[in-house]
Structure 1
Amino acid sequence: MINVLFTGTAVVLLCFAAYWVRGRGGHRPTGTWAMAALLTSFALAFASYAPAVERAVESVVPHVARLLSNAFTLTAATSVLAFLFQLNLDRERAHRQIRLRVIVLAVAVAGMTAFFAAEQLTGRNSALYACYVLIYISYLAYTAKDFLLQTWTQARRSTRRSQRWGLRTTSVGCGFALVYAAYKLVALVSIGLSLGLVPDHSRCSTPLTPFRCAFSVTAPAVAVLLITVGLTLPALLWPLSQLRRRRWERASFDALEPLWREVTSAVPEVVLDPGNTGAGTHDLDFHLHRRVIEINDCVLALRTYRPASVRDAAAAEAARRGTAGTPEGDAEVEAAVIAAAVAAKRAGTTPDGDGAPPASGTASRKGDLPAETAWLLLVADAYPRQPASAHAEAAS
């Protein structure tokens, strides 16, 4: 079970690393290589945890699996900070901080290797092992704490939902890393004072047994998985959100076409490019935006043809049906007024009396494409249901 858990996790992490390196749409986002290094380091650390791999490498050098997994974990921690620096700092400052962290990492790994070698040569000397653990846990705890604070702060500032949840998930993962660091600190004190609080001879049969495995194996494993998922989640959801947005843009563009044709037939001069009114796959946002602007420009151009009598009659009908004051009811009223205004413009007649005022919420929706599109979709849906009497009244 342990072999499958750690080997499978390593494979998944390597797949994530390949996803980042491959790039998306010919573009590699900021921090791509740092993220790839992070995932690859975590994958190698997990592989070194697998009993089969552990036995294989330790058949060559006894207890070396510990050094490998710890070195890969510190490399991953450094990659996490490199990723964060590239996101939050300017290019020159980020490179300077990354170079410093890489130097400190090299010194830490070199020190751990030296103490590990000395420990092996002196027959598992507890003082040397304590020095080894001190270097490892100091670097890891500082990195996890720094990353926890940074990701939680960024999560509060982020405007994208997937990014907020991803950063919060990463913060929780850093919390598990700190739990692991606390466990290692207790182990260090136990070794240094010969208290025997953390036995070092028993192997983990499951992720929770013996009990110390919940801290020595499960906590770092959960930390790695949560950090990986948290950092990768926004990148995985981005293509899905873009696909969903394009489908919404296409559906909205097509649904607004009947209304657009009606109003532009009365005010054709507002059409920005009469020879290009379609929308391709890669410019849906632009064409939808243009369609919404053209419909609103037509409504504005027809303001002198908006009969108040039609608006009052439509409002009374909405009140009778119980939809007055709702978006759907307001859209029914606006659709009736626009239909009457189009008919009056075509007939060349101007309604008597004051014109109907703009629809409710017009000012608040200005400049908000999703909100304006949603409103016009309601109007477009109500437009075909307008009675012929409204058109006749406006034209008479």
Structure 2
Amino acid sequence: MNALFLGMACLLAVAAGYWILGRGTPRPAGTWAMGSLLASFALAFASYAPLFENAVEAVVPDVARLLSNSASLAAATSVVAVSFQLNLESAEARRRIRLRLLLLAASVFGMTVLFAYEQVTHRSPQVYALYLLAFITYLGFAIIDFLQQALRQSKSTRRTSVRLGLRLAAAGCLFALVYAAYKVMVLVSLGLGFHLIPDHQHCSTLTSSPCVFSVTSPALAVLLICVGLTLPAVVYPVSQARRRRWEVRSFEALGPLWQDLSAAMPEIVLPAEDVNANASTDADFLLQRRVIEISDGILALRPYRSRKVLETAQRTTDAVTEDPAATIEAAVVKAALAAMKAGLLAEEVALPPTEAPSRKDLREETQWLLQVASAYSHRTARVASGEQPEPVGA
């Protein structure tokens, strides 16, 4: 248990340091709230470790409970603050966060006073019940507050990582509610004087009762909420790296088709003036230029697109051919390019394929042109060109 909880505490502490110090400037909204959330959860995990608990309680008996509960309330407040900063206007978010901070300060102060008085009265059940009441009231309020916002935001967000992260955080809230329900049972037991639940029992395993409710449930809640809220930040650089790799590969894959079109029609190449150095080496920018230039080149070939070549390609392209529509379009483009070089207009113009996406969606257009470029380079040699001149190109 020491290795598990202290290891998680160290990991969360490092994450908190990175989030606060390693985010650069200007820091995005929610940076400090997320940093305090991770730091609070780090303290909460450390307080669950028997080694930490024994060390601090050697100085002040039962103080690990106060530290753990205070860290849990601070973490719950930070969770709510993050959700406010992400979902609300800045002014409204600051107003709500200030109110939550005041409630947090009042709750922690009241718990500290009651804890001190409990020690003086030799762990009076009535005083402990009041302590639990202060703790569970604010914790339950914060959990339900965040759960509602997480579920609402998960339904409206478009990013998969954000949606999955919010749902994981919502699942963590459910474990936190299990912990809150356990504390309510302890409170009722103390209030009625039954003492049915030994709340002060030290836990040696995570599955024994009541440790599964008092330690395992909050630990799972902390873990799921931390993973859920940090998942988008972890996934984003990975997704960006994958996107850049796709852009570079797509740019290179479109090269043969672009070279033939730009060689025949230099006017389709966009001017390079007024392009800064960063943009000129950015994969996204270069890919967009190439897609636009190829689309313009194919559009300029329209008078040379022969319907006869289109029909021949449709007959000779196998039904099992991968991307048959792209293969047919590649054959028509190759023949049209050869016809333009020979100065032969099409007797009957073939219309563009219906499978071609709108230019409003750059990614879909890129995917379509990648299919056409692949067929243009590898699969159009066997397509008959009818009466058109010998096809050219890669």
For normalisation by structure 1, the TM-score amounts to 0.93
Mapped contact 1:330–1:360 kept (Cα < 8 A):
no
Structure 2 unpaired stretches of 5+? none
Look up the match of 1:252. 250
- Aligned runs of 1:29-68 on 2, under 5 Å? 29-68=28-67
Deviation string 1:322-342 (CA, Å, 9 cap, x unpaired) is: 247x7x111111011101111
How many angstroms apart in 2 are the aligned matches of 1:219 and 1:61? 26
Tell me the distance in 2 between the aligned counterparts of 1:382 and 1:350.
Answer: 24
For 2:345, give the aligned amino acid: T
Q: 2:219 aligns with which of 195, 218, 221?
A: 221
Give the Cα–Cα distance (whole angstroms) in 1 for the partners of residues 389 and 3 of structure 2. Answer: 77
Contact 1:250 / 1:284 at 8 angstroms: preserved in 2?
A: yes
Change (3 A) 1:259 1:279: farther
**Letter of the structure 2 residue corresponding to residue 31 of structure 1:** G
Equivalent pair of 1:180/1:216 in contact (CA under 8 Å): yes
**Which of 370, 373, 391 lines up with 1:380 in the alignment?**
373
Supply the distance in 2 between the matched residues of 1:79 and 1:194 (Cα, whole angstroms). Answer: 35
- Structure 2 distance, partners of 1:282, 1:141, is 52
Q: 1:258: Cα distance to partner?
A: 0.7
In 2: Cα distance, 1:274 partner to 1:282 partner: 12
Cα displacement (A) at 1:202 = 2.4
Deviation at 1:166, TM superposition (A): 0.7
The match for 2:90 is 91
Give the Cα–Cα distance (whole angstroms) in 1 for the partners of residues 272 and 215 of structure 2: 66
CA distance in 1, matches of 2:205, 2:53: 16
Unaligned runs of 5+ in 1: none
Q: Residue 158 and residue 257 in structure 1: after superposition, are their counterparts in 2 closer, same or farther (change >3 A)?
A: same
Partner of 1:137, secondary structure, is: helix
Partner of 1:371: 364
Matches of 1:367 and 1:87 in 2, distance apart?
29
The percentage of counterpart residues that share the same residue type is 52
How far, CA to CA, are the matches of 1:376 and 1:65 in structure 2? 63
For 2:12 and 2:26, the matched residues in 1 are separated by 21
Is the Cα–Cα contact under 8 Å of residues 279 and 287 in structure 1 kept in the other structure? no
CA drift at 1:350:
0.7
1:337 is aligned, of 332, 337, 350, to 332
1:108, 1:310 → 2: CA distance?
A: 79
Deviating more after overlay: 193-202 vs 106-115 = 193-202
Evaluate the alpha carbon distance shift between residue 53 and residue 150 of structure 1 in structure 2; reply closer, same or farther with a 3 A threshold.
Answer: same
Alpha carbons 2:316, 2:384 under 8 Å: kept = no
Corresponding residue of 1:360? 354
Please state how far the C-alpha of 1:48 moved relative to its aligned partner. Answer: 1.6
Q: Alignment partner for residue 393 of structure 1, among 367, 387, 392?
A: 387
Amino acid at match of 1:359: P
Give the paired residue count.
387
Q: Does structure 2 retain, via aligned residues, the 8 Å contact 1:81–1:147? A: yes
Could you list the structure 1 runs, at least 4 aligned residues long, displaced by more than 6 angstroms after superposition. Answer: 278-281
Q: CA-to-partner distance for each residue in 1:185-215, whole Å, 9 max, x for gaps? A: 0000000101122113421111112x10000
**2-side partners of 1:386 and 1:370: how far apart?**
24
Cα 1:281–1:84 change in 2 (3 A) is farther
State whether residues 339 and 391 of structure 1, in contact with CA within 8 Å, keep that contact through their aligned partners in structure 2.
Answer: no
Q: How does 1:1-396 map to 2 (within 5 A)?
A: 2-24=1-23, 28-209=27-208, 211-273=209-271, 283-318=282-317, 321-323=318-320, 328-352=323-347, 354-362=348-356, 364-384=357-377, 385-387=379-381, 393-395=387-389
Alpha-carbon separation, structure 1, partners of 2:384 and 2:278:
33
Q: How has the CA–CA distance of structure 1 residues 138 and 11 changed in structure 2, closer, same or farther, with 3 Å as cutoff?
A: same
- For residue 309 of structure 1, report the CA deviation from its aligned partner: 0.6
Q: Tell me: CA distance 1:310–1:279, structure 2 relative to 1, closer, same or farther (3 Å).
A: farther
CA RMSD of aligned residues (A): 2.0
Shift of 1:361: 2.0
Amino acid at match of 1:106: A
SS at match of 2:387: helix
* CA 342–36 in structure 1, closer or farther in 2 if over 3 Å, else same: same
TM-score by length of 2: 0.93
Change over 3 Å in CA distance of 1:206–1:82 after alignment to 2 = same
Q: Distance in 1 between matches of 2:311 and 2:95?
A: 68
Query: 2:141 is aligned with what amino acid?
Result: Y
Tell me, in whole angstroms, the C-alpha distance in 1 between the residues paired with 2:281 and 2:272: 20
1:46 positional shift: 1.3
* Worse overlay, 167-176 or 338-347: 338-347
- What amino acid is the match of 2:355? G
